[in-house]
Amino acid sequence: MNAMDRLIDYATRPVPLRTLILRKLLRRWPIGSYEARLRAGAVDRPHYGWCLYFAAREAKALGHKAMTVVEFGVAGGNGLVCLCAHKEALEKELGIEILVVGFDSGSGLPASNDPRDILYCWPEGSFVMDRAALEKRIGGRAQLVLGNVGQTVAAWQPSPHAPIGAVMFDLDYYSSTTSALPLLTKNNVLPRVWCYFDDICTGPEEAVTDLVGERAAIAEFNLSPDRMMLNDNISLVHSFKSTQPQSWHQQIYVYHRINHPDYNTRITGNRDQLQLSSV
């Protein structure tokens, strides 16, 4: 995209140009609290930030001193590095430890013949990881779990003191997402786990519908007999609709473990009383 095309793109977005400029400046020179910059959209990957923010607040309100955030589909590693930055800001602001874990094959997208995997856009071998470069960049701030996602998810367990609170899904394939979703059924999770699905809505050329890709995987997960028995589900969050429109608003979901022993434990402040106006 050339400079003129980029200017047209920015000038015609739903978000005012002045807001986009201010966000860019605040990313370059961060001032104010992390929460204020997050609400302004002045952080990298705000969808990651919001998932971590709400999960961390939930974990802290329930008395946990730590929580875990997972990214599926690390690829080049930019998302994992971004999660580490959000982690550090939230640990400082909220006083809760956040463990970051990234799942990936390490060798790019696997071979597939399932048409629901949108193979016309995501060929085998795409998004190979440079493991050495990524490990050097994260410097121990995150754990990498490499291998076939179905096998690694089955074998891996979150730390006993750090329940899973947020999960970022970016596996592209229906089949890989289906293999990753059982992570949500682990015992050590928060009552509500914040989820971001990167490929819920993409470019028109990918022709994403409810029958292919991540959408198909979510629908299948929710309709399985186990979900009916455990009374849990993954649902779209509608809370962001009142804010300035962003494409990622329709990519934030929450996994509800309704029979979780802490599901009904109050996590908000005193918002249950309204005083009569004196006027």
Greater model confidence, 216 or 5: 216
Instruction: Return d(Cα 41, Cα 39) in angstroms, integer.
Output: 5
Helix (H) / strand (E) element for 257: namely strand 252-257
Q: Are residues 125 and 75 in the same domain?
A: yes
Which pTM value belongs to this model? Answer: 0.89
- Residue 91 placed within a domain: yes
Q: Are residues 25 and 63 in the same domain?
A: no
pLDDT value at 70 more than 90: yes
pLDDT value at 138 more than 60: yes
Q: Are residues 129 and 14 in the same domain?
A: no
- According to DSSP, the β-strands at 164-169 and 189-197 are parallel
- Residue 143 placed within a domain: yes
Greater model confidence, 4 or 260: 260
* 46 token code pair: 């705000």
Dihedral angle of Cα 160, 161, 165, 168, to the nearest 10 degrees: -60
Q: Are residues 83 and 210 in the same domain?
A: yes
User: Domain of 27?
Assistant: 1-31
Instruction: Return d(Cα 49, Cα 19) in angstroms, integer.
Output: 18
Tell the residue number behind the tokens 């959209």, with chain if given.
Answer: 41
The per-residue pLDDT for 100 is 97
Q: Are residues 152 and 175 in the same domain?
A: yes
Q: Are residues 144 and 19 in the same domain?
A: no
Q: Are residues 108 and 13 in the same domain?
A: no
Q: Are residues 87 and 10 in the same domain?
A: no
Dihedral angle of Cα 180, 184, 186, 188, to the nearest 10 degrees: 130
- Residue 105 placed within a domain: yes
Q: Are residues 22 and 50 in the same domain?
A: no
- Residue 276 placed within a domain: no
- Residue 88 placed within a domain: yes
- Residue 277 placed within a domain: no
- Residue 66 placed within a domain: yes
Q: Are residues 48 and 27 in the same domain?
A: no
CATH of the domain at 92: 3.40.50.150
Q: Are residues 54 and 5 in the same domain?
A: no
- Residue 107 placed within a domain: yes
10-19, 189-198, 230-239, 247-256: range with lowest mean pLDDT: 10-19
Q: Are residues 163 and 126 in the same domain?
A: yes
5-14, 111-120, 183-192: range with lowest mean pLDDT: 5-14
How many folded domains does the chain comprise?
2
Nearest Cα residue to 132 out of 111, 118, 120, 146: 146
